[in-house]
Structure 1
Amino acid sequence: MTDRTIWITGASAGIGEALAARFAQEGARLVLSARRQSELERVAERCRNKGLSADQVLVLPLDVTDWEALPGAVQTVLDQFGGIDLLINNAGLSQRSLCVDTDMSVYRQLMEVDVMGQIALTKAVLPHMLERGTGHIAVTASVAGKVGAPTRTGYCAAKHAVMGFFDALRTEVEGQGVHVSTIVPGFIRTDISRNALTGDGQTFGEEDEDIAGGMDVSECADVVVKALNSKKREIPVGKGKEMAALWVKRLSPEMLFRLARASK
């Protein structure tokens, strides 16, 4: 990835931050986007400490649900670096609430951030890549995009939608030089559960036991970067029982349902 331009959303923490740090080691030019500029500046400094110069890192605060701002953001990146080689759609929210307790506004927010925001930014970047005849688009989906889990009805719905959209997009553009990768993390040690939405839209504020025992986020980034370098189409990453669920879903959906129901 040396001298390639990589744009990461959700770059202010978690997997996005870890990917930025890992790509910095490879000498990539980085565009770091999220809503919190102060945290982006911290991540940018971390990347510079790994050897990047100031002009190799662009801090670009962005709310992916602000669709009208996205074309201007794309132009800013093109003006700064001349091209976009890899877009990693990593912005997202999770959920911790039963369906019966979840307000429709929470479902709407999950869909706006986790699905529509990823689609909107991809659509803003895609014409540039198609015109060049080269590029790579990735999205952080989830094992929850393959299986259903209690207290995550909205999150599972959103991640299933993400998997479907980007799998379909791949069939349209891969023959034109644009690669599409879906990243499928299991339990990774980040603040995803702390930042998850409850049924009334409040912040959950607690760490799940599964998340606490998950894969280290830097190890996750190593796996993902290696797979992206190889242009792997689907990238499962994790180390726990949730990764086995991907195989159980293929072999026996009924068995997986029984296991998921028992975990409630």
Structure 2
Amino acid sequence: MNNQVIWITGASSGIGKSLAIAYSKGDVKLILSSRNEEALNEVRSLCKNPDNVKVLPLDLEQYETLTTKTTEAIKLFSKIDLLINNGGISQRSLIRETSLEVDQRIMAINYLGNIALTKALLPHFIKNQKGHFVVTSSVVGKFGTPLRSSYSASKHALHGFYDALRAEHFKDKITVSLVCPGFVATEVSKNALVGDGSKQGARDTATEKGMHPDRFAKLMIKAIKNKKAEVYIGGAKEKVGVYARRYLPTLYYRLVRKWNVT
């Protein structure tokens, strides 16, 4: 990673914050993005070499602004080598209780905002004949569970898009890595949207007991370094869900009806 420029979205807390602090210990330059500029500056102050860290606030929901933001990002260090599309929002609501506006907002942030950044940066990677897109998906990007219908759908969509991108731009030496977390002890469930669009406001039990984000970041950085196409990082229960859905779908359909996902 020597002298590489790494752009991390969702960098103000959780996984993104841990990634930023861990990467700052190496010989890299960082661009940190999220909506919360104050929190981004706090993360920057925790990095080992703050002079090598730039803050670029953006809002993934305002995806029509992201081409301009990408131009600004490239100008900060004259190049970008690695984009970690980590920003996003989760959900905790039953389908029958979820307004269509909530579905639209989750797709706008998790899918359209994500791919808008990627499409804006893609010409830069093609020109340089190198680049690495990393996407923080989820294990529910591989299977659906109750209370996460739109969140799961948005992550499934990312897998379809990035599988296509990987195939189309292999000749341009562009790498794509999809990282699928299980439960990680962040504020993701606290900030998750419920049916009326408000925040849940509390951590789930499963999230509370999840992997520490520093531990997760260490494993994610290893997967990025090894250029893994797709990797699942989490506890045994989450991984069982991935493989049961793939190899034993009938069993999965029975299990998921009983799965305590709160």
Q: TM-score, normalization: structure 1?
A: 0.96
Q: In structure 1, which of residues 73, 86, 99 is the aligned counterpart of residue 69 of structure 2? A: 73
What does 1:160-171 align with in structure 2 at a 5 Å threshold? Answer: 160-171=156-167
Question: 1:193 deviation in Å?
Answer: 0.5
Q: Pairwise mapping of residues 43-58 of structure 1 onto structure 2 (< 5 A)?
A: 43-47=43-47, 50=48, 52-54=49-51, 56-58=52-54
- SS of structure 2 residue aligned to 1:210: helix
Give the Cα separation in 1 of the matches to 2:50 and 2:38: 19
User: Residue 39 of structure 2 corresponds to which residue in structure 1?
Assistant: 39
1:80 deviation in Å?
Answer: 1.9
Q: How does 1:136-175 map to 2 (within 5 A)?
A: 136-175=132-171
Q: Which amino acid aligns with 2:156?
A: H
Shift of 1:235: 1.9
Distance 2:204 2:236 in 1: 14
Contact 1:7 1:86 in 2 (8 A): yes
CA contact (8 A) 2:187 2:203 kept: yes
Query: Residue type of the partner of 1:139?
Result: V
The Cα RMSD (Å) is 1.1
Amino acid in the other structure paired with 1:3? N
Q: CA deviation at 1:16?
A: 0.7
Gaps of 5+ in 2: none
Could you tell me whether the CA contact under 8 Å between 2:63 and 2:112 is conserved in 1?
no
**Whole-angstrom distance in 2 between the partners of 1:222 and 1:207:** 23
Cα offset, 1:133, TM superposition: 0.2
- My pick for the range that moved more, 101-110 or 171-180, is 171-180
Q: Tell me if the contact between 2:6 and 2:81 (Cα under 8 Å) persists in the aligned partners.
A: yes
Quote the residue 1:10 is aligned against.
Answer: 10
Following superposition, the deviation at residue 140 of structure 1 comes to: 0.6
Write out per-residue CA displacement over residues 188-224 of structure 1, whole angstroms, 9 at most, x where no aligned residue.
1101100000000010011111111111111100001
Deviates more, 1:30-39 or 1:209-218: 209-218
**1:223 paired residue among 209, 219, 240:** 219
Paired letter, 2:79: G
SS in 1 for 2:199: coil
How far is 1:181 from its partner? 0.5
Question: How far does the alpha carbon of each residue in 1:6-34 deviate from its partner, in whole angstroms, 9 at most, with x for none?
Answer: 00001001111111111111221000000
Mean Cα deviation higher: 35-44 or 252-261: 252-261
Match status 1:251 vs 2:253: no
**How far apart are the structure 2 equivalents of 1:209 and 1:225?**
26
Residue 175 of structure 1: how far off its partner (Å): 2.2
Secondary structure at the aligned position of 1:25 is classed as coil
Q: Which amino acid aligns with 2:226?
A: S
Q: Are 2:67 and 2:116, in contact at CA under 8 Å, matched by a contact in 1?
A: no
2:58 to 42, 59, 62: 62
Contact map agreement 1:129 1:178 (CA 8 A) in 2: yes
Superposition deviation, residue 240 in structure 1: 3.6
CA distance in 2 between partners of 1:139 and 1:67 (Å): 16
CA distance in 2, matches of 1:105, 1:53: 39
Aligned to 2:258: 262
Q: Deviations over 1:92-112 (max 9, x none)?
A: 010000000000000000000
The amino acid of 1:78's aligned partner reads I
AA in 1 matched with 2:41: E
The question of 1:132 aligning with 2:131 is answered: no
More displaced 10-residue stretch of structure 1: 190-199 or 231-240: 231-240
Q: For the Cα contact (< 8 Å) 1:16–1:90, is it kept in 2?
A: yes
Q: Please say if residues 61 and 105 of structure 2, whose CA atoms lie closer than 8 Å, have aligned partners that are also in contact.
A: no
The 8 Å contact of residues 214 and 240 in structure 1, kept in 2 or not, is answered as no
SS in structure 2 at match of 1:73: helix
Counterpart for residue 90 of structure 1: 86
Q: 1:53: how far off?
A: 4.2
Structure 1 contact 186–240 (Cα < 8 Å) conserved: no
Is 1:201 aligned with 2:179?
A: no
CA-CA distance at 1:118 after TM superposition: 0.4
Partner of 2:104: 108
Shift in Å, 1:75: 1.9
